[in-house]
Chains A and B, each alone.
Chain A
Amino acid sequence: MSEIQFTKEHEWILMKDNIGLVGITDFAQKQLGDIVSVELPSVGNEFKQNDAMAIIDSVKASSDIYCPIDGKIVAVNEELLQSPELINKSPFESGWIVKLEPSNISQLENLMTEEQYNKFVGED
């Protein structure tokens, strides 16, 4: 499994070696505008699917970031604490938010493919 998948709350998850890399989409960062603060969870925190796990503040709005599937945080992107604008500049690469060890991998089946997500946000 190595295809990027999406939630209706505009997170993405990419599985690699049984660890999920998680961030927010380009559509989401554009909607938020300039991001100025990110509050990250701690490594070891466990979340259920759709639990709020991080908070992003842009100049105009504050948004919760939801966990795409059940799992345990195994790493957070600490560079975001100094450079939250990485999410604007590179939402799918250097702007990643957490790494997650899934506890219920079957939940991936409920998420959207890239094509479905693009249709969902009207950018197909």
Chain B
Amino acid sequence: MTQTPFYDQHVSSGAKIVDFHGWEMPLQYSGIIDEHKNLRSNVGLFDVSHMGRFKITGTSAENCVQNLLTNDVTKIGDLQAIYSPMCSESGGILDDVIAYRINEDDFLMVVNSSNIEKDFAWVVSHSQDAHVENITDQMALLALQGPASEEVLKAAGLELNELKRFHLITTKMFDVDCLLARTGYTGEDGFEIFFSSSHTEIWDKLLEIGTNFGIKPVGLGARDTLRLEAGLMLYGNDIDEKTTPLEAPLSWTVKFDCDFIGKSALEKQQVERKLVGFEILGTNRIARKDNAVLADDLKVGIVTSGSFSPTLSKSIGFCFVPVSVSDEQTIQIEIGNKPYDAKVTGTRFYKRG
């Protein structure tokens, strides 16, 4: 089992620890619903140091990253980031990543923890002339998310200069060099902070300085409910190698005027199924991954994610259905061999005001 640099701090703050793809991670501290609601109204701090980080450098770094990703990497400037699927030749999603461009010759790619080894082998084998290094163990990654996250950073003495979403700066926080990006996985304003893994005091200092703003640590449980409400995909649940970005609601990340691995397969794909949101009607029984989706008593699809929405107090989820299924249509979700009515919705259940 692998631990992040902050493991001892999680244990001493009473976190319930779970095995997450071989990582001993905090599932919850005060409780999933409490952490979720507090982040939506105040601010929360996550340890996401289990996410994989690759450094891609050299004069062909930009070409290398563009070839790997379906989104248009050339449209971002220095100190900007982009979200993108990374596909195989057949168009299946190997992972969904955020690529941070330091400059033309220097990119940082953040990948899912469950895919680190697979992704690293893939990126290295398609590195062209670029140099690829797995720096996951050398770097800590914290996510400070929620409407008060900017105020917390200002209280810590940072000058953000109206840093825009998906932009980044190199700066110092508590005298430690860090890379600060306005990115996240919660549907709220927020930041992700990269720094040397030796500086574990940053976790404590952010919690301390955030006290006045109502900060609470947040575990993987609320990370899942937050991203689900915000309509964000979870690799291994909603998307995988058997899923293409055109079936998932990720068509907006596929730029056919760029050249990338999987392009010709995606150009030819006849899309037959789509990932939609659903809301279970009349009960808060929770749908779980792999529950069957029924329409007119026939199995037409499968649940990929399901949970409780603390913001809406409803049972929600994502599922795959045939493209013929329409928005607002009533389907059934089978939970424990019993069908429950559900309404087809968009994937975005929550949009910040």
Contacts and interface: CB of A to CB of B under 8 A. Distances in A.
A37 B28 contact: no
Interface residues of A, number: 12
Contacts of B315: 36-37
A60 B284 contact: no
Interface string B140-151: 000000000000
A59 B32 contact: yes
A70 B306 CA distance: 34
B33 to A, nearest CB: 5
For A33, A57, A84, the residue with the greatest tally of chain B CB atoms inside 10 Å of its CB is A57
A33 B32 contact: yes
Interface string B23-45: 00001100111000000000000
Contact of B307 (A39, A55, A59, A84): A59
B343 interface: no
Contacts of B71: none
A59 B307 CA distance: 6
A55 B336 CA distance: 10
Interface string A25-37: 0000000011011
A59 B286 contact: yes
A62 interface: yes
Interface residues of B, number: 18
Contacts of A55: 285, 336
A62 B28 contact: no
Given A55-B336, A59-B308, A34 B286 contact: no
Interface in B285-324: 285-286, 288, 307-308, 315
Nearest to A52: B336
B113 to A, nearest CB: 19
A33 B31 contact: yes
B225 interface: yes
Contacts of A59: 32-33, 221, 225, 286, 307-308
A55 B31 CA distance: 21
A33 B28 contact: yes
Interface string B1-39: 000000000000000100000000001100111000000
Interface of A: 33-34, 36-37, 39, 55, 57-60, 62, 84
Interface of B: 16, 27-28, 31-33, 221, 225, 283-286, 288, 307-308, 315, 335-336
